[in-house]
């Protein structure tokens, strides 16, 4: 799975109500000291950073292919396709976020 898919999957992770999640937690107990979930903005920032890393890797692979420094054509194409797919996914997520924002702004209260 692509790294950006991992970040999106973590943000939209499965929702389940187990007995421990449904029961109230007393303040100061050990289970109330667990870490908070990662904010959505940091997940998006990490995903964009991973897309950038994939694009840098694809650029390096293409440069290595053109200079003849031992990069196989298959490796260069795979790196390029990974970067392309990650960028397309990031663009689709951005488009959905803009669309949701526009829908909220279009609501009348």
Instruction: Spell out the domain ranges in the chain.
Output: 40-109
| DSSP secondary structure code for residue 9 in this structure | H
Q: Could you report the per-residue pLDDT of 12-60, keeping only the tens digit for each?
A: 444 333 444 444 555 555 555 577 888 888 988 999 999 999 999 999 9
List all residues 6 or more positions away from 46 whose beta carbon is below 8 Å from its beta carbon.
7
Residue environment code for 13-38, b if the CB has 16+ CB neighbours within 10 A, otherwise e: eeeeeeeeeeeeeeeeeeeeeeeeee
Provide the percentage of residues in the chain whose pLDDT is more than 70: 70
Provide the whole-model pTM: 0.62
């Amino acid at each position: 799975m692509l790294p950006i898919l991992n970040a999106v999957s973590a943000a939209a992770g499965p929702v389940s109500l187990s007995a421990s999640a449904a029961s109230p937690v007393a303040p100061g107990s050990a289970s109330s000291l667990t870490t908070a979930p990662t904010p959505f903005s940091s997940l998006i920032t990490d995903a964009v950073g991973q897309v950038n890393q994939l694009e840098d890797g694809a650029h390096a692979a293409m440069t290595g292919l053109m200079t003849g420094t031992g990069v196989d054509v298959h490796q260069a194409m795979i790196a390029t396709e990974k970067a392309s797919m990650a960028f397309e996914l990031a663009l689709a997520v951005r488009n959905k976020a803009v669309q949701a924002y526009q829908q909220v702004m279009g609501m009348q209260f």
